[in-house]
Amino acid sequence: MWELTVYKQKRPAGTLSRRRGRINMNQKILKVENLLRFHTICRQLHSLGQRRILAQWKHVFSSAYPVWTAQLYSWPWQTDMLFGAALSQYRLLVTKKEEKSRKSQLSSTKSKKEVEVWIGMTVEELARAMEKDVDCIYEALMNTTMDIDSLEADSHLDEVWIKEVIKKAGMKLKWSKLKQDKVRENKDAVRRPHADLALLTPRSPVVTIMGHVDHGKTTLLDKLRKTQVAASEAGGITQHIGAFLVSLPSGEKITFLDTPGHAAFSAMRARGAQVTDIVILVVAADDGVMKQTVESIQHAKDAQVPIVLAINKCDKAEADPEKVKKELLAYDVVCEDYGGDVQAVHVSALTGDNLMALAEATVTLAEMLELKADPTGPVEGTVIESFTDKGRGPVTTAIIQRGTLRKGSILVAGKSWAKVRSMFDENGKTINEASPSMPVGIIGWRDLPSAGDEILEVESERRAREVIDWRKFEQEQEKNKENLKVIEEKRKEHQDAHRKAREKYGTLHWKERSFIKYQKNKEQKPLKLKEKAERDSNVLPIIIKGDVDGSVEAILNIMDTYDASHECELELVHFGVGDISENDVNLAETFHGVIYGFNVNAGNVIEQSAVKKGVKIKLHKIIYRLIEDLQEELSSRLPCTVEEHIIGEASVLATFSITEGKKKVPVAGCRVQKGQLEKQKKFKLIRNRQVIWKGTLTSMKHHKDDISIIKTGMDCGLSLDEEKIEFKVGDEIVCYEEKEVLTKTSWDPGF
C-alpha cells in the first residue's frame, strides 16, 4: 500500500468533479490490488503443496521460460514490487482515458446548437428558433405536468418549460430580449387631407338614375342626352354602368351614371350610389314600387345621398302617381306633397314631358348641396368600369373627384398602375384634361383594375411600382394569416382525432388494434366506375368570360346565391374579361366544364377547337338568359324523377273467386269509371284513400273473353299478381304508367 499512499499524498488539488473522478479511480485500483494479492497468496499456497511436482518440471520451465520461473519462485516482497509497477502503468492509462473523455465532453458541449430564446415566447416562436416543427415542442412536453391539450401554437411558455424543451432537444440555451420582427414600412398611397375652403370651386353634380327594370331609366336618359343607348343594348336592358356628361339648355352640366336596373347588377348600383351626389329614383306610375326600387332606396340611404323622385309613364291611361307616392311612404321616402323633402316630378320618358322640370329640380338640389371640389394637386377618382379593348388594351371609365387629370399622369388603382397615354369623353372624342365630376375614359393601364377601385395620382413610375408592391405584399400577408389560421384549425382537428383514437384504442391489445384498423381499411374501398360517374355528374364546372369587369362581378354575385349544392355542385374554374381564348377551351376540356360568355365573342378557330374537344360554349347578351341557361344545365345534371300518369280508374262492385287447378284465385268485378284500363300497364289498389297494393294483373276479362283494354262504362273481372290481397266492395283500382321527368334545380337567383 506504500505506492497508493504516496500517490494520494502527491495528488494535485482540483475541482470537485476531478476529485470525485480520482476517488472513483482509486477505489477501482484498490479492488485490483486486493484481487491480485489474493491471487498471489492462493498461488503460493498451491506451490507449497505441489513442490515436488514443480521441482520435476523445473528444468523444463527454466530452459524454456527463465524469466517466468524466476518470478514464480520469488519472495512475496518481489511480487509486490511487480504488482506496484503494473498498477502504476494502470493508473497512467486510466488517467489518460479520463482526460480524453473529458476533452470529448467539452468538445461535444461546444458543438451543441445555441438557441436564442426570450421570456414569454410562444410555442410557434420556439419551434422557429429551434428550426423544428411545432410537434417537436409537444413531444418534448408530453410526459410533463403541463396540459398539452390546452396548448396552442400562439400559447406563451414559461421559463421552466422553455428550458425543458431545449434540454430534451440537446441544444444550448441563450437568453435574449424579446425579438421584434422587422416591420416593413407602409408605402401605400392615400388620399390627401381635406383641401382649404379657399381652393374649392363649384363642380357639376354626379347623378345616378336608379329603379326597377323596365321602368324607363335608359329611355329617360336618352331623352336628356339625345342619344340612343337603349337601341344598341340587347333587349333594351343596360348591361353595365355608363357615365355621361349632359349639357342642359340653361348651360348647366350634369354627369349621369346610368346603372342597370336588373337585379343581377345590385352590387354595381351600390357602387354607383357611393360615388354619386344625387339619386334620381325612377318608378313607373302604372307598376308602382317593386323589388329593385326598394333596393335602390336602400343604396341611396346607405350612401347618404338625397333622392329626386321621377314618376315615369304618366302618359298611360292606367297611371296612378299618387299611389306611387303613398307606397313610398312605407320606405321613408316622403314627397313634398306629404310634408317631406323629396321632390316628385311626373314625367314621360317616351314623349319627353316634364324632362326639363326634372333637370331643373336636380340642378336646384345640387345648388342647395353647394357641391365644390379642389381642381388642383394630385388626382383622386373612382373606377366606374373597366374592360379590355383589342386595340387599346386595358381601359377604364372613371369619375374624377379631385384634381385635374392630364396626359402623362401616373395613376394607381387597386393593384394596377398606369401612365395616362390617352383620354376620351363619353362620345369617344380625345380630350386633354378632365376636371372634377367629369367622366373620362383612361388608356395606359399596365393591368386591368377592378370596378370601384380608388384612383390616386403619384409623382413617378417608381413610386407607383412601390405602391403596387406594398399592396401586393399586404394582400400576401393577409392571405398567409388566413392560411395559418386554416392550418391551425386543421392541426387542432388532427390532434383531437388523434387523442380520441388514442383514448379509444389505448386499453386494447396491439393485435386487437391491428384487426380493427384492418377492418376499417377494408371498408374504405375505392369508388367503382359507376359511382365515380355518378359523382362527376353531380358537379358542373363553369368558366365565366365577360366584356367588362362589372358584368363578370355581377354574374359572380348571382352565383354566390347558389344554395343547391346538395343537388349539384357548382364549381367556378376560371373567370375573366375578354373574348374566349384557346386557354379557356383547354381548361374546360380538363375539368369537363362549360364556358359561358357574356357580351363576348368566340372566333371560328376557337369554336372549331371546342367542338373537336367536346366543350360547350354558350354565348349570351342578356344576363338573365345566361342564368336561365345555367339553371337548365344544372337541371340536366340531376337524376330524373318518376311521375305517375293515370290512364283509367275503376271501382269494385262485387268480389268472388275462381278455381285454377288446386288454387282459389280472388277476382274483382269492376266497372271502369274514368279513362280506360290497359292490361300491360301498372295498377294499384286503393282502399280508404290508402294504397294497399301496387303491381300488375294476371288476367283481365270481359264476360269470358280475355281482353287487353277496357274502356269507360264497361264491366270486367280482374285478378292480381298477389294472391293474398282480398278485394272489398268500394275499393278503387287505378291503371297508371310511370314516366321519367327532368328534375329542375331548386336554385332561385331572385328574378
pLDDT at 173: 80
- Of the residues 343, 373, 403, the one at which a domain ends: 373
My answer on whether 209 and 138 are in the same domain is no
Inter-residue long-range contacts of 27-32, CB under 8 Å, 24+ positions, other chains counted: 28/94, 29/4, 29/87, 29/90, 29/91, 29/94, 30/4, 32/87, 32/90
- The pLDDT score that the predictor gives to residue 80 is 53
Tell which of 576, 605, 636 closes a domain.
Answer: 636
Query: What residues are paired with 657 via a beta bridge?
Result: 666
Q: Which helix (H) or strand (E) holds 433?
A: strand 433-434
Distance CA 443, CA 434 (A): 13
Q: Structural domain tally of the chain?
A: 5
Instruction: Output the domain CATH number for residue 236.
Output: 3.40.50.300
Identify the pLDDT of residue 67.
42
CATH of the domain at 671: 2.40.30.10
- The H-assigned helical ranges of 290-386 are 291-302, 321-329, 355-369
| Beta-strand pair 594-598/616-620 | parallel
Tell me, yes or no, whether 254 and 308 share the same domain: yes
Q: Clarify whether residues 231 and 351 are in a common domain.
A: yes
Q: Give pLDDT, residue 58.
A: 46
> Does residue 98 fall inside a structural domain?
no
Within this chain, do residues 551 and 606 fall inside the same structural domain, yes or no? yes
**Does a structural domain hold residue 251?**
yes
Residue 190 lies in a domain: no
In a domain, residue 546? The reply is yes
Return d(Cα 651, Cα 673) in angstroms, integer. 7
Asked whether residue 249 falls in the same domain as residue 366, the answer is yes
Residues of the chain with pLDDT under 50: 1-16, 19, 52-79, 107-109, 178-181, 227-228, 230-231, 527-530
Same domain membership, residue 585 and residue 662:
no
pLDDT, tens digit, 9 for 90 and up, residues 713-746: 999 999 888 877 888 899 999 999 988 888 888 8
CA–CA distance from 16 to each of 20, 23, 99, 291 (Å)? 6, 11, 15, 92
pLDDT digits (tens, 9 = 90+) for 123-139: 888 888 888 888 888 88
Judgement on whether residues 164 and 215 belong to the same structural domain of the protein: no
Q: Does the residue 209 lie in any domain?
A: yes
Residue 416 lies in a domain: yes
Per-residue burial over 192-231, b = 16 or more CB atoms within 10 Å of its CB, e = otherwise? eeebeeeebeebbbbbbbbbbbbbbbbbbbbbbbeeebbe
User: Could you tell me the residue range of the domain that residue 149 belongs to?
Assistant: 114-175
Indicate whether 188 belongs to any domain: no
Q: Which of 451, 461, 469 is nearest to 419 (CA)?
A: 461
Domain identity same for 627 and 664: no
pLDDT at 422: 93
Do 223 and 291 fall into the same domain?
A: yes
Separation of alpha carbons 491 and 688, rounded Å: 60
What is d(CA 351, CA 710) in angstroms, rounded to the nearest whole number?
Answer: 66
- Same domain for 389 and 368: no
Kindly tell me the burial class for residue 734, based on how many C-beta atoms sit within 10 Å of its own C-beta (0-12, 13-18, 19 or more): buried
The residue among 221, 304, 299, 317 whose CA lies nearest residue 263 is 299
Are residues 695 and 608 part of one domain?
Answer: no
Instruction: Quote the pLDDT of residue 662.
Output: 77
pLDDT at residue number 420 = 94
Do both 221 and 362 map to the same domain?
A: yes
> What CATH number does the domain containing 602 carry?
3.40.50.10050
Question: Which of 333, 352, 373 delimits the end of a domain?
Answer: 373
Residue 498: the pLDDT is: 74
Amino acid making up residue 589: E
What's the residue count for the chain? 751
- For residue 626, being part of any structural domain is answered with yes
Gap between the Cα atoms of 166 and 159, Å rounded: 11
